[in-house]
Amino acid sequence: MTDLRHHRVSVNRIKLHYVEAGAGPAVVLCHGFPELWYSWRHQLHALAQAGYRAIALDMRGHGESDAPIKIEDYDVCQTVGDVIGLMDLLGIDRAALVGHDAGTSTVYHAALMRPDRVRGVMGLSVPYVPRGPLSVLDAFDDTVPDGFYMHYFQKPGVAEQDLERDITESLRRLIYANSGQNPQAPFTMTVPEGSTLVDELPAPDGPMHFLSEADLSVYSTAYSRTGFRGGLHGYRVFQRNWELTAAWHDMALPVPAAYVGGALDTVLQFPGFRTAAEAMGRATFLDGAGHWVQAERPDEVNEALLSFLDSLPS
């Protein structure tokens, strides 16, 4: 990893940390929760070797980037502003955007709001679902089990206290439970009354084939410094994001798009999500893979990503 370049810059009224590799057309990588720029470690080198300038952010609230306190500081207008502001600072006129998990909200909305700056967009795990008549939380009310994790995350302080009791163990269980290595995959995270999320997550009985102890230590060290508040605030703006994006209601993505997901990813079990993924044009489903698809199956993800990037008009 010695060819990676780390930077910390002022963008959109906060300090953003990002890591880059290579030179050429820009590809901006936006991670999800609970993740970091490090989630793109396999893609950074592949992109650089293929002649691209790969830029992986620590999204606001994560890693070495600033973590504002207010919930509204994590809405989609702010995170899109971070991406476009960083592109402005670096003199990048147009870039391809790639998002995983919560990072897909940022890259899809960047494409909607600023199609003049986006060459194309790829989503991992979470497909593009056009804004509907209800927010995600409201739409899920009657279709998900009681204690669904997105609802559990809504009250400030509750999930923070749970996840921060033992940060390394929380991360180990979150990552394993949602991976294809979990025999229970696809695993739906729910919290029965009186319990906690971490207590309900299965623990691996051995090493994870896609995440070494050294890898886990990178995440644990980062979250020991920041806590989980920033990432959880990203779930607490779902209703606000729906309200802010009324102007893009039911709008199709205005740029070329592609999708890669693990067939055992719980996200693809959400109502309508598999159909939405298939509608994205270039859609790849990897058998045996779970939520962390770019780490679980890096070679196939890199192949699909480079094929998509090579197809984009200059």
Q: Which domains does the chain have, with CATH numbers?
A: 5-311 (3.40.50.1820)
Pure H helices in 114-212:
136-140, 149-152, 158-163, 167-177, 197-200
Residue 163 is predicted with a pLDDT of 98
Is it the case that residue 284 has pLDDT exceeding 90? yes
Residue 281 is predicted with a pLDDT of 86
Choose among 167, 190, 165, 193: nearest CA to 178: 190
Question: C-alpha angle 182/136/121, rounded to 5°?
Answer: 75
3-state secondary structure of 99: strand
Question: C-alpha angle 31/88/219, rounded to 5°?
Answer: 20
Residue 172 is predicted with a pLDDT of 98
Residues annotated as catalytic (active site), given as ranges: 101, 291
Whether 110 and 94 have beta carbons less than 8 Å apart is answered as no
User: Rounded to whole angstroms, how far apart are CA atoms 33 and 103?
Assistant: 8
pLDDT in tens, 62-106: 999 999 999 999 999 999 999 999 999 999 999 999 999 999 999
Q: What is the pTM of this model?
A: 0.97
Whether 211 and 131 have beta carbons less than 8 Å apart is answered as no
Average pLDDT rounded to a whole number, residues 131-147: 91
Least confident of 64-68, 134-138, 303-307: 134-138
